[in-house]
Amino acid sequence: MKTKRRYDLDWLCVISVLTVFVHHVCMPFNGDDFYIMNEESSKLLDDLMVFFEQFRLPLLFLISGVGTIFAFSKRHWFHFVKERSLRLLIPLIFGVLVLIPPQTYFENHDEHNSFFESYFSIVSRLDVNHLWFIENLFWLSLFVIPLIVFVRSSKSKRFKSILIKLTFKYGVFSWCIVLIILKVIGKYYFPSDSKSIFNLSSTLYYGFFFVSGIFIASMEVLWLTIYSNRRKYLYVAFASTVVFYFYYFLPSDIISPYISLEQRWNLWYLVCGLVAWSVILCTLGYGQKYLNNNSFVLSKLNEAIYPFYMLHQTIIIALGYYILKINASIFNKMTLLFSVSLVVISLIYVLIIYPFKRIRFFFGMKNMTVKK
C-alpha cells in the first residue's frame, strides 16, 4: 500500500506540541496542581486552559494513529515493533533516567540536599511524568497490530464498506457517541485521573482517537468527507463550545437538587467529548485546505518536535523554579518563562542533540542523511 505524506498532519503535530509547551508554561499560574506553583494564580487562565485541554492531546493521539498506519505500510510487523521500540521505548527509558529526575528534584527541592545525592532514590520511582504520552503510544502501537493487519487486508472490505455507509448516513461526527460511551463507562469502573496505561478510562479515551486515526488513514473517502464537511464541523464546534462553557460556569447548586453528582459528571464527560471531537474534525478539515504544503521550515520543525516535546517540561520546571521567585506579575513571569524556556530548549537541540548521532538515538531521531 502506497501512502502519501500528509503535510497538514505534520503542521498540526508541530502546532499541537507547541500548544502543549504553552500549556505547561501556564500551569504554574492557573491554580492547578503542578510540580511548581506560583503563589498567585489566575482563575481566567484556568478557565481558558480547561477548554484547550479537551483536544490538544487527543489530536496528537489521532495524528499518531495516522502515522502508525503510514509506518506499518513500509515494513513487516516484526520490523514495525523494532521501529516503535527504537522510536518510543528507547527515548522513554532515556527520559525516565535523565529528563524526569530533575522535575522530581525541583518539585521536592526542600527535601533534597543535592540532585546527585538524591538521584538514585528519585530514579527508583520510575516516574514518567509528561512522557506518559510516549509510554501509552508505545503500548497502543503494539495492541493495534492485529487491527492494522486486518484493515490492510482484503478481509476488511466488508467492514470498511459498512463503516463508510454508516459514516455517510450519520456523518463522522456520529463517532462521538462511541467516544462518550467509552468515557462514561471507563470513568465508572476506573475513576482515577492517572494517565497510566493500566487506567482503562484514560487508555480507552485516548485509544479512541488513536484508532480513529488508523481508520481515517485507511480509507481515503473519510478524508474527503471530513474536508467537505469542515464548515459544518466549525458550526458544531462553536455550538459545542457554547454548551461547554454554559455547563462549566453553571452553579452546581442550581442543578444539584435535581441531578446526582454522578449524573453531573456524566454530563461533563458528554460536553467534553462533543468539544474534543468537533474541534478535531474541524481542525482536520481546515488543515487539509490550508496546511497541506511542504516547506523547508516544516521539515526542520518536524524533525525537532519530538526532542522538543521530551525536553520541554524539564526545562520549564527547572527554569520556572527560579523565575517564580521573582517579584513580578503573572503575565511578566509567564512571558519570561516562555521566552527563556524556548531559547534554552532550542539551544540544547541545536548544539547538543541535532549534531550528534548517539544523542539523536536517545531522542528517537533518525540518523542524518548526507547529501552527495
In a domain, 371, yes or no: no
Give the domain range for residue 175: 7-362
Does some domain include residue 369? no
pLDDT of residue 225: 93
Structural domain includes residue 1? no
- The answer to the question of residue 372 being in a domain is no
Q: Are 195 and 132 in contact (CB under 8 A)?
A: yes
Dihedral of the CA atoms 203, 209, 211, 213 (nearest 10)? -150
Number of structural domains found in the chain: 1
pLDDT in tens, the chain (372 residues): 445 678 999 999 999 999 999 999 999 999 888 999 999 999 999 999 999 999 999 999 999 999 998 888 767 778 889 989 999 999 999 999 999 999 999 998 888 888 988 999 999 999 999 999 999 999 999 999 999 989 988 888 898 899 888 888 788 999 999 999 999 999 999 999 899 999 999 999 999 999 999 999 999 899 999 999 999 999 999 999 999 999 999 998 898 888 999 999 999 999 999 999 999 999 999 999 999 998 999 999 999 999 999 999 999 999 999 999 999 999 999 999 999 999 999 999 999 999 999 999 999 998 765 443
Q: Give domain status of residue 2, yes or no.
A: no
In Å, how far are 121, 240, 264, 318, 319 from 247, measured between CA atoms? Answer: 44, 11, 10, 36, 36
DSSP H/E element including 242? helix 230-249
pTM: 0.93
Distance CA 342, CA 312 (A): 8
Bin 293: left if φ > 0, else alpha if -120 < ψ < 50, else beta. beta
Residue 139 lies in a domain: yes
Rounded distance, CA 148 to CA 139, Å?
14
Q: Residue 193: inside a domain, yes or no?
A: yes
For residue 3, what pLDDT is reported? 55
294 lies in some domain = yes
Tell me how far apart the alpha carbons of residues 347 and 339 are, in angstroms, rounded to a whole number: 12
The pLDDT assigned to 207 comes to 97
